[in-house]
Amino acid sequence: MTTRFVSGDLVRCDHGGKSRNGTYITERDGMAVVKLDSGYNIGVAPGSCRVTGHPEPALGKNVDVEQDHKLPNLSIVSTGGTIASRIDYRTGSVTSQFNANDILIAIPELADIANYRTIPLATILSENMTPAIWQDLARAVHDEIRDGARGIIVTHGTDTMAYSAAALSFMIDTPVPIVFVGSQRSADRPSSDNAMNAVCAAAAATSDLGEVAVVMHATTSDDTCSIHRGTRVRKMHTSRRDAFRSLGISPIGGIGYPLRKVTLGPHAVLRGTHSLALHDKIEPHCALVQFYPGMSPDLLKAYEGYKGLIIAGTGLGHVSTALIPALGRLITGGTLVVMTSQCMHGRVCDRVYDTGRDLLAAGVIEGGDMLPEAALVKLMWVLANENNREKAAALMQSDLKGECMRRSAYGL
Ligand code: ASP
């Protein structure tokens, strides 16, 4: 008799001379599609699998988690990403499906730290994030703080988390922590980082921090999370749990796990330093281009009419001589062009080489030590808030939220 499988059944299958555990997804072309515990999908003859268990019942919608009202009030604003994902048994892929309330149900440890309000803003993978959603996010976060939240957790996909964290850094002056958190590995994988990252984020959101930060695994073990400044962080690895790194500064803090002890560095902005303010205007007609050897000046024609352009140049901030007249034409046409570097560390200096001097003569602005992605978001924000070109250029060279530091820390 052939076994009938149901999507979500836990199965053990003989495949390639080995016996492996996984989750039955579907049958396709006569083969059973199984998601292995390692996260990869395989197709095997159905007869080589047997059922070892059944799926947990689906999480109920709107089931309220018991709250302890003596604990501080946090708000979780969910946007999607792997941290809020489950397997789609139709396709075997990971999709953003559940909301902030489901996260609370799935990670009961959170209930020991705070009392939560949940705001489901979006259920998207973060590659689908847009400046318009940053605005909705900033407004939602602002309203939660205004209404008394002691801290905010934003659950977000990891791919573009650094852009969104930078966006909120500019769009909100905050007296309380605004903590972005995600996970590299979905909850269905044994090595998932979602629960520990979420618990660390809740600890950071109840701490003395007073700025926008990203909280993610610091090491490959389950022992520490780092707290990164929202404007100085980058995802540096496609799949490792410790993918996030601060660039140009050390992390602003850390959280020991499982004790949840938060340690803030001397450079962290503390709770209550700033008063709450929302600056939610953003100019989306800005772009970021990475220069490469042989890049055709014709490509820059696509940016005619853009309000701003960030170049990720080589080394100290260069493009080829062939590109400079095209950049000059953009600048004359009203585009603010800011130079950053593809290098992970250091600052732009266009006064050393000829190409750099020519860029300055054409009107390109040096972007200091800003990360290209933070510079893009800042440019969108600056150009929405300042019409005067000289003032906008000066703002791009000022440090607003730790994104453009006067001095680089030694060794970073
Ligand atoms: N592509 C996913 C996203 O950024 C990856 C993740 O969530 O980590 O939404």
Q: Which of 121, 133, 158 to mutate to test the pocket of ligand 1 (most atoms within 8 A of CB)?
A: 158
pLDDT of residue 56: 55
Kindly report, residue by residue over 164-210, the tens digit of the pLDDT. Answer: 999 999 999 999 999 999 998 877 777 788 889 999 999 999 999 99
239 Cα–ligand 1 center, Å: 10
Verify whether residue 82 is a known catalytic residue: yes
Which residues line ligand 1 at a C-beta cut-off of 6 Å? 81-82, 125-127, 157-159, 182, 184
Closest CA to 19 of 33, 7, 31, 37: 37
Q: Which of 23, 79, 95, 158 is catalytic?
A: 158
pLDDT of residue 408: 65
Q: What is the residue extent of each domain of the chain?
A: 10-53, 73-278, 286-396
Q: Which of 23, 79, 82, 118 is catalytic?
A: 82
CA separation, residue 37 to residues 5, 96, 268, 276 (Å): 17, 19, 39, 45
Residue 281: pLDDT over 70: yes
Closest ligand 1 atom number to CA of residue 83 = 7
Q: What percent of the chain has pLDDT over 90?
A: 65
**pLDDT at residue 98, as a whole number:** 62
CATH code: domain 73-278 is 3.40.50.1170
With left for phi above 0 and alpha for psi between -120 and 50, is residue 79 left, alpha or beta? alpha
Does residue 314 contact residue 341 with C-beta atoms inside 8 Å? yes
Under DSSP, is residue 87 helix (H, G, I), strand (E, B) or coil?
strand
pLDDT at residue number 397: 96
pLDDT band at 37 (very low <50, low <70, confident <90, very high): confident
Mean pLDDT computed over 386-408: 93
- pLDDT: which is higher, 120 or 306: 306
- Residues forming a β-bridge with 28: 31
pLDDT at 324: 97
User: pLDDT tens across 120-147, in order?
Assistant: 899 899 999 999 999 999 999 999 999 9
Q: What is the distance in A from the centroid of ligand 1 to the CA of 349?
A: 34
Measured from the Cα of 160, ligand 1's closest atom is: 4
Work out the average pLDDT over 259-274.
96
Verify whether residue 235 is a known catalytic residue. Answer: yes
Are both 10-53 and 73-278 of the same fold?
Answer: no
Tell me whether residue 401 is one of the annotated catalytic residues: no
Q: Are 153 and 121 in contact (CB under 8 A)?
A: no
State whether residue 282 is helix, strand or coil. Answer: coil
Question: Would you say residue 108 has pLDDT above 60?
Answer: yes
pLDDT band, very low/low/confident/very high, at 39 (cuts 50, 70, 90): low
Give the Å distance between the CA of 245 and the centre of ligand 1: 16
Task: Give the pLDDT confidence score for residue 41 in this predicted structure.
Answer: 73
Q: What is the pLDDT of residues 342-383, one digit of tens each?
A: 998 999 988 888 898 999 999 999 999 999 999 999 999 999
Distance set, CA 398 to CA 75, 102, 163, 232, 293 (Å): 32, 41, 19, 15, 30
From the CA of 95, how far away is ligand 1's center (Å)? 9
Q: What is the CATH number of domain 10-53?
A: 2.30.30.520
Structure confidence at residue 33 (pLDDT): 77
Instruction: Please say if the pLDDT value at position 60 is more than 50.
Output: no
Which class does domain 286-396 fall in?
A: alpha beta
